[in-house]
């Protein structure tokens, strides 16, 4: 069974979101984008959560951007029109602080 591409963890009032694709420097394909969008919506809708921390798994890269080997999956994924191909454009519209814990290249 493959590891989840995005991990979420609640730590008291903080919501930790980890892009979990270190083998490809945490690049974002369609599935990952959808999971990031879902995590953002979960954070936005939960009044018990005060801050979101976004990071990448591993030490080599925070996020290397779009997964160019699977670029079609970004453009054709459900919801790409409203939240952008990578699912992150709505992260600025949550009304609560979002911290980027940048590790490695980005």
- Alpha carbons within 13 A on the beta-carbon side of 78: 2
Picking from 34, 74, 10, the residue whose alpha carbon sits closest to that of residue 19 is 34
Q: Which residue stretches of the chain have pLDDT < 50?
A: none
**pTM score of the predicted model:** 0.88
Paired tokens of 71 = 């670029």
Q: Which two tokens stand for residue 86?
A: 């990578």
For residues 79 and 95, what is the distance between their CA atoms, to the nearest angstrom?
A: 21
Contact 94, 44 (CB under 8 A): yes
SS3 51: strand
- pLDDT, residue 98, reads 94
pLDDT (0 to 100) of residue 84: 58
The CATH code for residues 6-101 is: 3.90.226.10
- What pLDDT does 85 receive? 56
């Amino acid at each position: 069974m493959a590891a989840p591409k995005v991990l979420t963890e609640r730590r008291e009032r903080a919501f930790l979101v980890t892009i979990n694709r270190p083998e490809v420097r945490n690049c974002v394909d369609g599935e990952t984008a959808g999971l990031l969008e879902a995590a953002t919506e979960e954070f936005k809708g939960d009044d018990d959560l005060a801050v979101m921390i976004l990071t990448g798994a591993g030490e080599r890269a925070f996020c290397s951007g779009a997964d160019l080997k699977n670029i079609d999956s970004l453009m054709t994924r459900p919801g790409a029109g409203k939240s952008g191909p990578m699912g992150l454009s709505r992260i600025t519209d949550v009304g609560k602080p979002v911290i980027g814990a940048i590790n490695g290249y980005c």
